[in-house]
């Protein structure tokens, strides 16, 4: 029985690592954008507009 588990362990570890990585990637990509980033982008646009006026 221990030999059977030893044979399956490497592929189970790789599978678990892949699933965790896919979950983290999807969580990061599908997360709603943060307000601070939106405010930072809007502030940069206003700063560029004021630089053009000078």
Residue 34 region by backbone torsions, left for phi larger than 0, else alpha for psi between -120 and 50, else beta:
beta
54: confidence class by pLDDT, cuts 50, 70, 90: low
Can you give the pLDDT at residue 13?
97
**How do residues 5-39 score in pLDDT, each as one tens digit?**
899 999 999 999 999 999 999 999 999 887 766 56
Q: Where are the alpha helices (DSSP H) in the chain?
A: 2-30, 35-53
Can you give the pLDDT at residue 44?
58
Domain boundaries, the chain: 2-53
First to last CA, the chain: 78
The mean per-residue pLDDT over the stretch 29-54 comes to 67
Can you give the pLDDT at residue 16?
98
Q: Is the dihedral of CA 33, 34, 37, 42 positive or negative?
A: positive
Instruction: Give the position of tokens 């599978």.
Output: 15
Tokens found for residue 14:
């790789």
């Amino acid at each position: 029985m221990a030999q059977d588990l030893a044979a399956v362990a490497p592929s189970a570890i790789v599978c678990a690592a892949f699933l965790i990585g896919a979950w983290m990637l999807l969580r990061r990509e599908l997360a709603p954008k943060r307000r601070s980033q939106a405010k930072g982008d809007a502030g940069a646009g206003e700063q560029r507009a004021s630089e053009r006026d000078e």
